[in-house]
Amino acid sequence: MALNRVIFFALIYKKSPHTMMSTADFIGYLSAFLTTLAFVPQALHSWKTRDLSGVSLPMYSLFSLGVAGWLVYGLMIGSWPIILANCITLLLASVVLYLKLTHQD
């Protein structure tokens, strides 16, 4: 009985020629969307108020370098969820980093 369930689920989740997106790609896109969306409030708040007193320059610098690394990695392996998420996240993080560097207290 358990083997039948495994085979059934394997057949359901197997990428067929008619499937537009694999389950793994869907999870990747959804996760990329959610984690990228998490940076929007900070970027908007920083842009509107120009108050970056609570933003750590070393943290955002290292974070931006890490996101750039993920972007390069995504480009190297051709993974669109990684590429798109890190392009957008790098843009948002760069805005905050730029504002932090130009509006030092």
- AA letter at 62: L
Q: Provide CB contacts within 8 A for 68, sequence distance 6+.
A: 86, 90
- Quote the tokens at residue 100: 């932090």
Give pLDDT, residue 43.
81
Give pLDDT, residue 3.
46
Domains of the chain: 20-102 (1.20.1280.290)
Give pLDDT, residue 17.
54
Sign of the Cα pseudo-torsion (92, 94, 99, 104, in order): positive
* Ordered per-residue pLDDT tens for the chain, 105 residues: 444 454 445 555 555 555 567 788 788 888 888 888 887 888 888 888 888 888 888 888 998 999 999 999 999 999 888 898 899 999 988 888 888 888 765
Q: Counting Cβ atoms within 10 Å, is residue 92 exposed (0-12), middle (13-18) or buried (19+)?
A: buried
- Quote the tokens at residue 67: 């996101």
Give pLDDT, residue 75.
94
- Quote the tokens at residue 19: 């499937």
- AA letter at 38: A
